[in-house]
């Protein structure tokens, strides 16, 4: 079998062209011509392309927001809270640094205004005389509160009385 050559009739593509410039009907020339006309119109009327304006504005907005969030994160790292005592240290949770949209989203709540109430309540088992327990339950029903709240009030009153007696001595 002989090798077939497909160069017949394609000399205009592979060969040197007689003209070094593009023809007027070339699609490449028609596109650049339209762009030049649009540029001239835009310069004449003083308007810019809205698509380019929007994308540049969006890019500027995202850059500003990103810079602000980075600055805020750096400030937070600089201001570290020191625990009052060695036993009050809080365990650090290792979290991934924010990136992408998470870095741009701002918190709507001021973290300084949120204060968590730390109750050091512990569960305690008590033994009562059954008659006294029934009387305490009746008091709780009348006050429409929990038995534990009634007992908590009783203990608080006792502690106040004890402190008052110890100060008098």
Q: What is the 3-state secondary structure (H, E, C) of 122-141?
A: CCCCCCCCHHHHHHHHHHHH
The domain boundary residue, chosen from 20, 50, 79:
79
Tens-place pLDDT, residues 54-75: 788 888 888 888 888 878 877 8
Q: Is residue 163 part of a domain?
A: yes
**Tokens, residue 163:** 């402190």
Q: Is residue 74 part of a domain?
A: yes
Kindly state the average pLDDT of the residues 102-117.
69
Q: Is the pLDDT of residue 141 over 90?
A: yes
Q: Is residue 86 part of a domain?
A: no
Q: Is residue 91 part of a domain?
A: no
Domain count, the chain: 2
Q: Is residue 160 part of a domain?
A: yes
Domain span including residue 50? 30-79
Q: Is residue 150 part of a domain?
A: yes
Rounded to whole angstroms, the Cα distance separating 56 from 51 reads: 9
Which has more confidence, 70 or 10? 70
Least confident of 61-70, 87-96, 151-160: 87-96
Q: Is the pLDDT of residue 111 over 60?
A: yes
Q: Is the pTM of this model over 0.75?
A: no
Kindly state the average pLDDT of the residues 82-86.
53
pLDDT, position 6: 64
Which has more confidence, 14 or 30? 14
How does DSSP assign 6-33, residue by residue? Answer: --TT-HHHHSPPS-SS--TT-HHHHHHH
pLDDT, position 75: 81
Rounded to whole angstroms, the Cα distance separating 126 from 118 reads: 24
Q: Is residue 62 part of a domain?
A: yes
How open is the CA angle 157-159-163, to the nearest 5 degrees? 120
Q: Is residue 115 part of a domain?
A: no
**pLDDT band, residue 13 (cuts 50/70/90):** low
Tens-place pLDDT, residues 23-66: 555 555 555 544 554 555 555 455 555 666 778 888 888 888 88
């Amino acid at each position: 079998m002989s090798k077939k050559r497909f160069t017949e009739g394609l000399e205009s593509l592979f060969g040197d062209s007689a003209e070094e410039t593009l023809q007027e009907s070339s699609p490449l020339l028609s596109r650049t011509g339209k762009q030049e006309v649009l540029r001239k119109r835009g310069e004449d009327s003083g308007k810019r392309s809205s698509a380019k304006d929007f994308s540049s504005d969006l890019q500027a907005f995202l850059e500003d927001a990103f810079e602000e969030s980075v600055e805020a994160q750096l400030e937070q790292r600089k201001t570290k809270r020191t625990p009052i005592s060695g036993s009050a240290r809080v365990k650090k949770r290792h979290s991934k640094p924010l990136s992408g949209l998470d870095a741009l989203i701002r918190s709507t709540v001021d973290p300084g205004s949120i204060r968590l109430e730390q109750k050091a309540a512990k569960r305690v088992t008590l033994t009562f005389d059954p008659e006294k327990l029934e009387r305490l339950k009746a008091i709780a029903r009348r006050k429409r509160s929990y038995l534990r709240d009634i007992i908590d009030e009783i203990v608080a009153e006792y502690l106040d009385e004890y402190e008052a007696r110890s100060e008098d001595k």
